Copies of this chain bind each other. A is one copy, B any other.
Amino acid sequence: MNTQTRYSISDLAREFDITTRSIRFYEDQGLLSPERRGQTRIYSRQDRVRLKLILRGKRLGFSLTECGELFELWDHSNSGSELQLRLMLTRITEKRQALEQQLRDIAMMQQELDGAENRCSEALNALTAAQNAAKATQK
């Protein structure tokens, strides 16, 4: 079971296949704030989730700053003044629209890949057909 509750920096580095340098850098940027036992950083399950979110954001081409904005949305979404909350809702909508644009982009790129794949395997068929023909004549 996933009963682990605390992680060292190299635990996380290993699990997500990144360097400890990166993890400390994310902390520098204010995206993580693990506990300290003396000098040593100790990461909670929440920290681990944050890290996972950071990496997911990066895979989607978001900058670290944008990831931080998403955390703000997440963290303060049940507090704040009415104006704050309204502002947050519009920002959530913006992010959502960006994601929908990405979905469209992915769909189109998948079509391009389909096209390339088809032409590719057709060319391959043509080649092997030619080879078979050559073999047949050789006999």
Contact = CB atoms under 8 A, between A and B. Distances in A.
Contact of A89 (B78, B85, B108, B117): B117
A47 to B, nearest CB: 16
A120 B85 contact: yes
Given A59-B101, A77-B119, A110 B96 contact: yes
A56 B99 contact: no
Interface residues of A, number: 46
Contacts of A86: 124
Most buried by B among A70, A79, A112: A112
Nearest to A101: B59
A101 to B, nearest CB: 7
B102 A102 contact: yes
A123 B78 CA distance: 5
A26 B109 CA distance: 19
Interface of A: 53, 56-62, 70, 73-74, 77-82, 85-86, 88-89, 92, 95-96, 99, 101-103, 105-106, 108-110, 112-113, 115-117, 119-124, 127-128
26 contacts: A59-B102, A60-B61, A60-B102, A60-B105, A60-B106, A60-B109, A73-B113, A73-B120, A74-B112, A77-B115, A77-B119, A78-B122, A80-B123, A81-B127, A82-B124, A85-B120, A85-B121, A88-B116, A88-B120, A89-B120, A89-B121, A96-B110, A99-B106, A102-B102, A103-B106, A106-B106
